[in-house]
Amino acid sequence: MPFGEVVCGSPGSGKSTYCYGKYQLFTALNRPIAVVNLDPANETIPYPCAIDISSLITLDDVMNEHGLGPNGGMLYCMEYLEANYDWLEDRLKELGPDVYVLFDLPGQVELSTNHESVKRIIQKLTKSGFRLAAVHLCDAHYVTDASKYISVLMLSLRAMLHLELPHVNVLSKIDLIQQYGDLDFNLDFYTEVQDLSYLENALSSASPRYAALNMAICSLIEDFGLVGFETLMVEDKESMLNLMRVVDKATGCVFVPPEGSKVPEGAIDTSKAPPTERPNAYGLFTSAMGEARGPRSDPRDVQERWLDAREEWDAWEKAQWRREGLMVQEQAKKSKIRERNPKQGAASNPTEAKRA
Ligand SMILES: Nc1nc2c(ncn2[C@@H]2O[C@H](COP(=O)(O)OP(=O)(O)OP(=O)(O)O)[C@@H](O)[C@H]2O)c(=O)[nH]1
Ligand SMILES: [Mg+2]
């Protein structure tokens, strides 16, 4: 059963960069992954693309042929893809049943909030056996302004109701949030969306005329009780791993490496361990469905990393990288010695080496 993600969000929110980040992460973890570009205007695709909508239709061709502008042209492209769904289906079949598929959507928000084509394509994918989650990226700097934050909440809620998929909202580029000034509340207030009445002061001082309307929107969002956010800094491994766990949990995906597959670098090789010490699929499933834990799973940790103690964390990470670099150099030196003199290299300490 193929699993995957529909990556959506407003223009420039970091969708393609996230797809590339996830591609790199999965490749390092030896998890099979394929990225499908569904953005016909995507000219510089950062990731290796398994399927590209441009080989079916391009935005430029549609604009020239039908005299449409870029926005109307984009909607036409999605309708064209829906009409030619078998083109996509045939190519997805070629990828095999075990691959994890990322669908990189265009940034036009109406595609994930009210236009029907993407929704119908997703429904067809689900019918054909795909277990998908929507990963909705929103630029984190919007939370620094109360009224922009409300609009992001509305957009996220609308996408959740429209796409009807297990849904993960993400505040992307969390590393840049500090540049836009101090937050009125701690980050967990914005990620957990618990009590929006605290925004009343900020909203009524920014636009007193619409204060009542803003508060009515807040209570509507709270009544649904659906919206919450994860955070993402795409180059931070812990942040990517945390989001990976959250999305896996949303789709119910538990990756069990096939027997005999290569162990990722740094992981413990349990292939020769007795059965009682080897992870089993049922055990993995139980822990995967449990609470997501890890260094970036708590918004308070994210706040400390990117807002409160950013400089200290940057310095600590640099020191870690330096240490890792030295270890890699040391390792390379050792393997060179081993290549030159296999007998001496095999010895684990100088005394053994002398004896050898
Ligand atoms: N600092 C920082 N920059 C990021 C992050 N994610 C993405 N970016 C930058 O944001 C910009 C836009 O990223 P894209 O991946 O092209 O965004 P997109 O959502 O695919 O854009 P469209 O396809 O045009 O809608 C690029 O310059 C990225 O390098 C992040 O986590 N941190
Ligand atoms: Mg893109």
CATH code, domain with 117: 3.40.50.300
**What does the alpha-carbon distance between residue 64 and residue 62 come to, in Å, rounded to a whole number?**
6
Percent of the chain with pLDDT over 90: 65
Q: How far is the CA of 172 from the centre of ligand 1 (A)?
A: 9
244 plus 344 within the same structural domain: no
pLDDT band at 244 (very low <50, low <70, confident <90, very high): very high
231 plus 342 within the same structural domain: no
**What does the alpha-carbon distance between residue 248 and residue 294 come to, in Å, rounded to a whole number?**
14
How far does Cα 41 stand from its chain's mean position? 21
Assess if residue 267 is contained within a domain.
no
DSSP assignments along 157-206, one per residue: HHHHHHH-S-EEEEEE-GGGGGGG---SS-HHHHHHT--GGGGHHHHHHH
Tell me how many domains the chain contains.
Answer: 2
Residue with the smallest CA separation from ligand 1 atom 1 is 173
Range of the domain at 348: 310-355
Secondary structure (3-state) at 58: coil
Q: How far is the CA of 45 from the centre of ligand 2 (A)?
A: 8
Q: Nearest Cα to 191, choosing from 238, 239, 235?
A: 239
Residues near 96 by Cβ (< 8 Å), separated by ≥ 6? 32
**What does the alpha-carbon distance between residue 5 and residue 14 come to, in Å, rounded to a whole number?**
15
- Calculate the average pLDDT of the chain: 88
Q: Strand order of the sheet with strand 3-9?
A: 49-52, 33-37, 100-104, 3-9, 131-139, 167-172, 230-231
Assess if residue 188 is contained within a domain.
yes
| Residues 109-150 pLDDT 10s | 999 999 999 999 999 999 999 999 999 999 999 999 998 999
251 plus 319 within the same structural domain: no
197 plus 321 within the same structural domain: no
A 10 A CB-CB count for 12 gives: 13
Residues with CB under 6 A from ligand 1: 9, 11-17, 39, 107, 172-173, 175-176, 232-234
**What does the alpha-carbon distance between residue 154 and residue 246 come to, in Å, rounded to a whole number?**
22
Q: Ligand 1, closest atom to CA 39?
A: 23
Nearest ligand, measured from the Cα of 15: 1
**What does the alpha-carbon distance between residue 160 and residue 177 come to, in Å, rounded to a whole number?**
24
145 plus 288 within the same structural domain: yes
Measured CA to CA in angstroms, residue 235 lies from 115, 134, 232, 315 at distances of 32, 21, 9, 16
Assess if residue 183 is contained within a domain.
yes
A 10 A CB-CB count for 282 gives: 8
324 plus 280 within the same structural domain: no
Assess if residue 91 is contained within a domain.
yes
9 plus 110 within the same structural domain: yes
Assess if residue 268 is contained within a domain.
no
What residues flank ion ligand 2 with Cβ within 5 A?
15-16
pTM for the whole structure: 0.88
pLDDT band at 354 (very low <50, low <70, confident <90, very high): low
Residue whose CB lies within 8 A of the most ligand 1 atoms, among 6, 15, 17, for a mutation test:
17
Residue 74 has pLDDT above 80, yes or no: yes
| Residues 300-346 pLDDT 10s | 999 999 999 999 999 999 999 999 999 989 988 988 888 887 765 55
143 plus 27 within the same structural domain: yes
Q: Ligand 1, closest atom to CA 20?
A: 15
288 plus 166 within the same structural domain: yes
| Residues 245-280 pLDDT 10s | 999 999 988 887 777 777 777 777 777 777 777 766
pLDDT of residue 344: 58
285 plus 254 within the same structural domain: yes
Nearest ligand, measured from the Cα of 37: 2
CA atoms within 13 A on the CB side of 341: 10
220 plus 162 within the same structural domain: yes
Assess if residue 167 is contained within a domain.
yes
300 plus 314 within the same structural domain: no
| Residues 189-240 pLDDT 10s | 999 998 899 988 888 888 888 888 988 999 999 999 899 999 999 999 999 9
Assess if residue 343 is contained within a domain.
yes
pLDDT of residue 66: 92
Residue 34 has pLDDT above 90, yes or no: yes
